[in-house]
Amino acid sequence: MWWEKKGHLEINDKNHLSIAGLDACTLAKEYGTPLYVYNKQRIIDNFTAIKNAFQKHTDNFRIHYAMKANSNLEILKILYRKGANIDAVSPYEAKIAMDAGYPQKKIMFTGTSVSNNDLKMLVDDNIFINIDSLSQIRRLRKIAGNNLNVSLRWNPGMGAGHHSHTITAGKYVKFGIPESNLAHAVELIKESGLNLVGLHQHIGSGWLADDVLVFLKTVDRTIDTAAKVQDKIGHNLEFIDFGGGPGIPYRAEDKEFPLDAYAEGICRKVNSSPLKNSKIAIEPGRYIVGDTGILLLGINTVEDKNIPLIGVNGGFNTLARPSFYGSYHEMIVCNHTASENKKEFMVAGNLCESGDVFSENRETLRKLPIPHEGDILAILNAGAYGYSMTSTYNSRPKPKELLIDNKSAKIIRKETW
């Protein structure tokens, strides 16, 4: 199977799905479903792969984990011990990161439509702020006073992402300061007594090989812009942040993210520019945790209702991406993973909503081994924007989360209302 990865996802001798060496059916029976399962070693491996790719070209870089992808405390602690910094998009994420042990100096906040209350919380907690708007500059000066170090998020004019909702640069986008307003933003910062120490971009989330060339064009634009900003402020920028966005394969035909080309492209361009002494920052989230998480659901209904139907005990309150983005996730019937006795089904959740399906839409059926009621369905690549987008819609509790570490499993978040 295309999704098999030795030591992570395999088919065991019972023809069951195995996650990090443990039988998925056994995990579901012991801990109950819905259940998010994470492989600790896979998280470490993914983070280390990024770190190693950059270390081939520079030591002057840092990795900010985009914790909106998955903010479980245990996962944050794993990454902290491996040297991660944090990209937080709310003051509450910053507080969670601090609870996980991150010092304030390793946390950077980047938000949009930021309220005065948000700004005050961040200033009181001594969290570095990456400014998103002219309005934010004016209001931050009143809240923070003088001599606060800040950076600017600019919009480089082009974006990329797996869905229009995840593209964060370009014309019809709420994020960042457009080029036409950037000079004014720099002057406003100088007048406000704030200290500009960095420039930031982020073009979108979940892009793969074909989008790397687009991304590298924005790297050129950001480096050129940062050099002009340095001239205006009269000192070198401490860092230049190229945001996040590297994706993972969700389908068999998706290509692996070209990590080496990505890292080499950034480092080569920065090292040959006036920004060569500035630290490189990146903000991966999905790449680190996306394929490490598997959602296990119980199959409670197998019957024809005009169309063949598999009903499971979780819905878009448990995994929102298919309904919200029309996203594809590979599905596996854990009890007989490699069976050739297959049929096309609608895979539907238990919410009172017609759109509560785990396919791209209601008309897109999924060819799966024919299951029995009581079997377990696994939804792969659910580690990023899975649990973090859960809700208690229909007054159903949020699922449990389980971490596998060296073939030992422990609950890292209980079922919650």
Residues with a catalytic annotation lie at 352
Q: Are strands 239-241 and 279-282 parallel, antiparallel or unpaired?
A: parallel
User: Of 345, 349, 85, which Cα lies nearest the Cα of 239?
Assistant: 85
CA dist 100 and 80 (Å) reads 8
3-state class of 73 per DSSP?
helix
CA distances from 217 to 132, 139, 268 (A): 21, 33, 13
Adjacent-strand bridge partners of 307: 305
Q: What are phi and psi of 83, to 5 degrees?
A: 105, 10
Beta-carbon contacts of 211 under 8 Å, excluding residues fewer than 6 positions away, are 160
Residue 34 pairs in a beta bridge with none
**Whole-number Å distance between alpha carbons of 337 and 339:** 6
The whole-angstrom separation of Cα 206 and Cα 180 is: 27
Residue type, 48: T
Tell me the CA end-to-end span of the chain in Å, nearest whole number.
36
Name the β-bridge partners of 333: 377
Q: Are strands 293-305 and 408-413 parallel, antiparallel or unpaired?
A: unpaired
Query: What DSSP assignment string belongs to 375-405?
Result: -EEEE-S-SSSSGGG---GGGPPBPEEEEEE
